[in-house]
Amino acid sequence: MSASIKTLWTETLPDPLPANPLLLAAQWLDQARIDAAQPNPNAMVLATVDSRGQPSARVVLCKEIAAEAGFLAFYTNYQSRKGRELLANPRAAVVFHWDHRRRQVRAEGQVLPLSDAENDAYFRTRPWQSQLGAWASHQSEPIPARADLAAAVTAAARRFGVPYRGPGSEEPAQVGVEVPRPPNWGGYRLCVDAVELWVEGEFRIHDRARWTKPTTDRPDGNSPAAWAVTRLQP
Ligand SMILES: Cc1cc2nc3c(=O)[nH]c(=O)nc-3n(C[C@H](O)[C@H](O)[C@H](O)COP(=O)(O)O)c2cc1C
């Protein structure tokens, strides 16, 4: 571990606390990317709750922290377990943990699906192999054998005219064929109305603060209200 990271053990939250916690969260994510101390610095645990009140959690990749617009974006399969839970109960919580920086970010809020245009634009940026995978995998559904998945990828390639010869074959970066987005694949924005920033302190005397703002019924989910902040005991 580098000396500069070691000294962060004594880090505290900025004084005064920032007016918009998502700006600092975005800086922390940028910093974790630069550090390259973990393969997926944008990984976050996403917790959802089903219609019976049962929580479930899994890791997804945060593709954007839009600090001014007040949301985080992630992509998935709308018919997955998380997609079904978000349909029944469109609220979620996420947690980032950058262990090497002794930092944690928690965020909560209302979840809205991204638009078709936003989903199409992002899907186009994905490698063709991932695009085929999105067609092949009915995420969270049972499958009898792993070979069935490989067969589903090959079938998707055939359907869209992608010259893919199966697992293990040499693959070009571009195939010159556009794979459309499956209608059940897309993203969500988590319209954040609560954020907690946490930094580790010596002897477990950590530094924590929680920002909240009223939930809004605006269609973009972005409450124009200012954040209220409270420091919390560790
Ligand atoms: C590092 C990492 C990144 C992941 N990123 C995503 C992602 O961006 N979207 C996604 O749907 N699943 C992602 N997954 C897989 C999910 O954790 C999960 O297995 C999958 O979404 C199915 O979850 P569900 O059955 O609760 O819907 C990722 C897993 C890991 C470990």
Nearest residue (by CA) to ligand 1, atom 18, is 58
**215 CB within 6 A, ligand 1:** no
pLDDT at 5: 55
CA of 75 relative to ligand 1 center, distance in Å: 9
Q: Which residues are catalytic?
A: 204
From 60-69, 75-84, 212-221, the region with the lowest mean pLDDT: 212-221
User: Which residue matches tokens 């302190």?
Assistant: 201
Instruction: Compute, in angstroms, the gap from residue 41 CA to the centroid of ligand 1.
Output: 14
Q: Is there an atom of ligand 1 within 6 Å of 31 CB?
A: no
Confidence of residue 14 (pLDDT cuts 50, 70, 90): very high
Q: In CATH, which of 3.90.79.10, 2.60.40.10, 3.40.50.2300, 2.30.110.10 is domain 3-121+184-232?
A: 2.30.110.10
Q: What is the pLDDT of residues 127-152, one digit of tens each?
A: 999 999 999 999 999 999 999 999 99
pTM of the model: 0.94
For the chain, which residues make up each domain, given as ranges? 3-121+184-232
pLDDT band of 34, cuts 50, 70, 90:
very high
Q: Which atom of ligand 1 is nearest to the CA of 58?
A: 17
Is the model's pLDDT at 65 over the cut of 90?
A: yes
pLDDT at residue 113 is higher than 60: yes
Share of the chain above pLDDT 70, in %: 96
* Cβ neighbours, 10 Å, residue 106: 20
Pairing outcome for strands 103-113 and 91-98: antiparallel
CB 216 near ligand 1, within 6 Å: no
At 169 the pLDDT is 72
Residues 72-96 have a mean pLDDT of: 98
The dihedral sign for the CA sequence 193, 199, 204, 207 = negative
CA distance 47 to 125: 26
Q: pLDDT tens across 184-220, in order? A: 999 999 999 999 999 999 888 999 999 999 988 888 8
